[in-house]
Amino acid sequence: MSESFEDLLTELRPDADALQQAARYYLAEHTGDMPVDAMRAELENAGDAAVADGVIARLEGDSAAVETACLTVLAAAWEDPGERDAVRGALQDAKSQMPVVEAAILAVVAAYGMYLLATRGRKRRVIVRRRDPDGSVVEIDDTDYAEAGGVFSAIIGLVS
């Protein structure tokens, strides 16, 4: 029987700061250390920038919602057995580091993590593979990215 996410939390006993830091570490690892400004820009470009900014502002003022979002992102990642080492490592590292105290950074990380969880960043994705006359296979990836407005409404509903 494999370890559950709850078992991991019981073992490591992370506090709210460690959970938030762990989500930041986990996302950094999976986004190539994407800067917070780039995360925010991607959220704003995914749909209505005013909606994205409003959600981030709301999260900045609600540490419990940030914690819930971060916990949700880590728990969802844990469901993939291939991600368990990364989640465990992020939680272990977070417990040994000074926490990020800037609410704005944590709010963007939480919103971005939930955005990725909810949409994987996509509204629609079609991959077409066709064989060219020379026998090579060409892949055409047609992706429409999700509009943030509807996604953010769902996020707020989850963490409120």
CB 5 within 8 A of CB 75: yes
Provide the percentage of residues in the chain whose pLDDT is more than 90.
13
Q: Which DSSP letter does residue 138 get? A: E
Residues across the chain:
160
120/101 Cα distance (integer angstroms): 27
- Extract the tokens encoding 93: 């590292």
Cα atoms found within 13 Å of the Cα of residue 8, Cβ hemisphere only = 20
Closest CA to 109 of 14, 39, 16: 39
CB 124 within 8 A of CB 143: yes
Query: pLDDT tens, 83-100?
Result: 999 999 999 998 887 666
Closest CA to 3 of 75, 62, 71: 75
**pLDDT-based confidence at 1, cuts 50/70/90?**
very low
125 sits in which H/E element? strand 124-131
Q: Which of 9-13, 73-77, 80-84, 145-149 has the lowest mean pLDDT?
A: 145-149
Domain assignments of the chain as residue spans, ordered by start:
5-159
- Extract the tokens encoding 109: 């990380």
CB 139 within 8 A of CB 133: no
- Is the pTM higher than 0.75? The answer reads no
141/7 Cα distance (integer angstroms): 39
